[in-house]
Structure 1
Amino acid sequence: MKTVNQKRMKKIAFVGALALSAFFWSCEKNEDIVANTYKLDETKSVAEWKGHLRTGYFNEGAITVQSENLTVQDGKVSGGVFTIPVSSIVNYNLPTDSVKHLLVHHLQSADFFNMAVHPNITYTITNVTSYSGTSSGSVSGANYLVNGDLTMLGKTNAVSFPAKIELNGNELKAEGTLKVDRTKWGITYASDPTLPDANFIQPDIDIHLKLIGSKK
């Protein structure tokens, strides 16, 4: 017959085993939710832009997008901040370098992005949710809705857009399209609706994000 002490020892051993099992299970769960950090390749990550006159004429170009702290948790982007240096604006469509420089310098002036006072535009991701919609103008295959805060000229407004986000090993790719109403951030140059069509610049800027990054 088992003694009282033997029964007590078996009970202690059983409880200890349960505790140890719970400990390792907890470690495994925590391992699963550890966030990884990704860095964008700034030579390949851009926001292509397009601005329109009311006549339909447009100028287009790109601006660099940087980030060293995009977080990926449980296989999904969960946060991060994009920095967009105003100094990196380029124009694609104008015929000569001198005309391109004139436009770029005007965009960097106080009439638009005021680079001297506000050298960077920032976008802070607040959350990313699954997306299965088909909103007009969204990229093909968009699988996530990115929600965040866009800061320009010291003002911040919420901006959301559908995006196609792919994680393949250590590589991250993201693509999305959106419209930004510049007047919400106080960029009102040539936005008076009484202006002639050839002088009126539409408030909305078309943006096409193309981002490539890798795990740090």
Structure 2
Amino acid sequence: MKKLFLLAATGLLFAACQKNEQQPQTYTVNEASSRIEWKGSAPDHFHVGSFDVNGSFSTGSDGLINAGSFTIPIASIKDFDLPDNVKPVLLADLKDNFFKVATHPNASFKITSVKAVAASKDSCLLTGDFTMLGQTHPISFPASIKAIGDSIKTEAKFNLNRLTWGMNNYSDASQKLYILPEINLSLHIRAARKK
């Protein structure tokens, strides 16, 4: 009888621990260690840089990510490849003429679906609504999401067609300066569990 009681108590304790581990959680983006890198190209040259990013993930009762939203402050844009005396010229052009930062200071992404990919336990297909220049359109891209202790590490690479959001600057291939429609983006996001 005593053994049965101990077994039952142990089982209840184990179940309680499992239930506690699967409680929905919120993970806040660590802005200092997160960034979104970009690459914009013309037929004969390109520029690279990054944006800051902030936001959060949340997990469901199964312990898997089921939602999240992120904000990209356009004014945080950086360039990595130009000399210091030229960078301000490019960045001012991007902020004012491409992103219209005065009227659209932020871009954002809201996750609507997370689907596991069979090839790897860390791989998934993220789908969500991306808003830029006042327009919102759905996008999907593969991502690697790894849980490491109380933190989540997210990595992804994908292309975005800027014309879809009305960013039409230098989009005429017959002109002297022509910028390709595709922007290459790389996500490096670190998030910590909210306590």
Which TM bucket (shorter chain)?
Answer: 0.7 to 0.9
**Partners of 2:112 and 2:180 in 1: CA distance:** 28
Identity of aligned residues (%): 35
Taking the aligned partners of 1:32 and 1:39, their CA distance within structure 2 comes to 18
Where do residues 108-127 of structure 1 align in structure 2 (5 Å cutoff)? 108-109=95-96, 111-127=97-113
Match of 1:129 in 2: 115
* 8 Å contact from structure 1 (residues 132, 142) kept in 2: no
* TM score, norm. by length of structure 2: 0.85
Shift of 1:193: 2.1
Stretches of 4+ aligned residues off by more than 2 angstroms: 27-34
> Which residue of 8, 28, 47 corresponds with 1:39?
28
Give CA-to-partner distance per residue, 1:16-59, whole Å, 9 cap, x none. Answer: xxxxxxxxxxx99975653100011111111100000012x100
Which string of whole-angstrom CA distances, capped at 9 and with x for unpartnered residues, describes residues 81-118 of structure 1? 100000110000002x2311111111100x21111001
Structure 1 unaligned runs (5+)? 1-26, 134-139
- State the structure with more CA Rg: 1
d(CA) in 1 for partners of 2:189, 2:58: 14
Alpha-carbon separation, structure 1, partners of 2:111 and 2:64: 13
- Given that residues 148 and 159 in structure 1 are in contact (C-alpha distance below 8 angstroms), is that contact kept between their aligned partners in structure 2? yes
The Cα of 1:127 is off from its aligned counterpart by 1.1
The whole-number CA distance in structure 2 between the counterparts of 1:141 and 1:115 is: 39
What is the CA–CA distance in structure 2 between the aligned matches of 1:175 and 1:141, rounded to whole Å?
Answer: 14
Q: Deviations over 1:64-93 (max 9, x none)?
A: 1111x3102223211111000001100000
Matched, 1:151 2:123: no
Aligned pairs (5 A) from 1:19-168 = 33-55=22-44, 57-67=45-55, 69-73=56-60, 74-95=62-83, 97-109=84-96, 111-132=97-118, 143-168=123-148
Q: Is the 8 A contact 1:113 1:187 kept in 2?
A: yes
Q: Which amino acid aligns with 2:59?
A: V
Cα distance in 2 for residues equivalent to 1:99 and 1:127: 41
| Alignment partners' CA distance in 2, 1:132 and 1:54 | 37
Aligned partner of 1:52: which letter?
S
Partner of 1:202, secondary structure, is coil
Uncovered stretches (5+) of structure 2, i.e. residues with no partner: 1-15
